[in-house]
Structure 1
Amino acid sequence: MVEAARAREGKGRSDDHLFDRELDHLPPEARWREWMNRVEATIFAASEPVGRETLARIVGKTCSIDLLIDDIREELRGRPYDLVSVAGGWKHLTRPAYADAIRAAVGGSERAVDLTQSDVLVLMCVAYFQPITRAELSSFFGKEISRDLIGHMRGAGLIASGPRSPTPGAPYTYVTTKAFLLEFGLDTLRDLPDFEALEDAGLLSKEKLLAGDIMPGFADAGDSGADAAIDE
């Protein structure tokens, strides 16, 4: 088994050595075009967002991934899809303007997650105040947050168990996942609307949250990627 592993490792090093990343034999314009094609093809073929480290394996060492992405997006400007930064990588996503046409033609996305009003409110609190326990969520809303509700969001992959809380009993906390970012079209949690700024502007408060007033744009933020449905 050890010899087989070494053989596979050696083959990987050999294949990597044979793959021409630099393309020094090409003139600069043709080299840039080939790097663009490689990056776009890789992202197109991937089922999940493709990160910077992965893309760096197929272009030259001095190549700027960001500039490549900018040029690809410029060429896609008039197309019904775009290259979007989401969940720590890049992914091809259709533009929101074509969501209704896509649903009419082929139905909802297989990745779509049906979220009730309660799901979205609890999920929003987890996103802003993570890591947070179920008891803390229940205290925040003034009523018990059921295990079934937590289980539904865990089953959808939107939240996961975080570190144990230092409170008595050391209960599990909950945190959002990469799937959460992908579902709502966020690159990182830093892309969430600033909670304090929303409060200062009078757009969000605990009272509004408990009354079911969701932040404008939050519930449908995933239209460019996944179809998060809100059941009134």
Structure 2
Amino acid sequence: MSQASVRRKQNDQPALLDTELEHLPPDLRWREWVGRVEAVIFAAGEPVPRDVLARVVGKSCNLDLVIEDIRAELAGRPYELVSVAGGWQHRTKKAFADVIRGAFGTAAGQGAGSKELSQSEALVLMCIAYFQPITRGELSSFFGKEVSRDLIGVLRAQELIASGPRSPQPGAPYTYVTTKNFLSQFGFDTLRQLPDFEALEDAGLLSKEKLLAGGIPAGLANREGEDDVVEDQVS
């Protein structure tokens, strides 16, 4: 290979990103780091985790302080930087939800392919969130009627749920778990932020008495608070 070919090949390779920026004074270095982090989050179509942001800043950069600075700069804007689904994402402030709905006919934060859930779809999704991994048969036992494959298909199509591990029950049926998109759509950073049972009881959406009386198969009621189990399902 000629020297000219070698030079062309070298020129085609992307230059390594200078993350330390030691040639800049501290204040300019910090502003560059802040700009880089905001640019990456702005360009991403989903929440950006810490490890991705760490690729564009120096080892001494405190990402939490960077996020605080960005949030402060957005204080008067109609959008903000929020922590959801294990990362950070720009989102329109809730105060502007009606404006966006009026303009586009969708709720703020909804994707073009998403639609508002029916009451039955929302209740099934809630049960999956609290009792995952859970089978369709177990969901049907909870509601006292069959949960259809079509209903499950709606939730899967919107990427709110996904297949979990096979159940140890006879026939090894599929189980269902929530996804990172579920966390993102509902503004949760982790499943630990789900409302507690007392709040759901007060709203009339769930009854511990029904759970303890056998409204769902034995063992599911004991899953309340098993954060380690449900956290694993969204990674």
How many pairs align? 197
Shift of 1:111: 4.6
1:29-62 C-alpha deviation (Å, 9 max, x unpaired): 1111110001101111111111111100100011
Match of 2:224 in 1: none
Return the alpha-carbon distance in structure 2 between the equivalents of residues 111 and 148 of structure 1: 17
Percent of pairs with identical residues: 64
Give 1:146's aligned residue: 148
- TM-score, normalising length from structure 2? 0.77
Q: Distance in 1 between matches of 2:153 and 2:22?
A: 53
Question: Which residue is equivalent to 2:49?
Answer: 51
Distance 2:192 2:146 in 1: 29
Shift of residue 209, structure 1, vs aligned partner: 9.2
Cα 1:209/1:102, change in 2 over 3 Å = farther
Are the equivalent residues in 2 in contact too, given 1:159–1:174 (CA < 8 A)? yes
Q: 1:33-48 alignment to 2 at 5 Å?
A: 33-48=31-46
Structure 2 residue runs without a partner (length 5+): 1-8, 212-235
Letter in 2 for 1:143: K
Gaps of 5+ in 1: 1-9, 211-232
1:187 corresponds, among 186, 189, 195, to 189
After the TM superposition, which residues 132-171 of structure 1 pair with which residues of structure 2 at under 5 Å, given as runs?
132-171=134-173
| Distance in 2 separating the partners of 1:202 and 1:105 | 31
Distance between the aligned counterparts of 1:83 and 1:185, measured in 2? 12
Give the corresponding residue for 1:67: 65
Q: Is the 8 A contact 1:164 1:171 kept in 2?
A: yes
Higher relative contact order (CA 8 A, sep 6+): 1
The ranges of structure 1 where at least 4 consecutive aligned residues each deviate by more than 3 angstroms after the TM superposition are 197-205, 207-210
Answer whether contact 2:132 2:178 (CA < 8 A) is retained: yes
Separation in 2 of the partners of 1:107 and 1:30? Answer: 43
Partner of 2:29: 31
- Superposition TM-score, scaled by structure 1 size: 0.78
Report the CA distance shift for 1:99/1:208 in structure 2 as closer, same or farther (over 3 A): farther
Give yes or no for contact 2:114–2:158 (8 Å, CA) kept in 1. no
Aligned pairs for 1:72-83 (under 5 A) are 72-83=70-81
Partner of 2:214: none
What amino acid is aligned across from residue 130 of structure 1 in structure 2?
Answer: Q
In the alignment, residue 121 of structure 1 is paired with which amino acid? L
* Aligned-partner Cα distance in 1 for 2:163–2:98: 35
For 1:154 and 1:181, how far apart are their aligned partners in 2?
A: 14
Q: 1:205 maps to what in 2? A: 206
User: If you compute each CA radius of gyration, which structure gives the higher value, 1 or 2?
Assistant: 2
Give the root-mean-square deviation of aligned CA atoms: 2.4
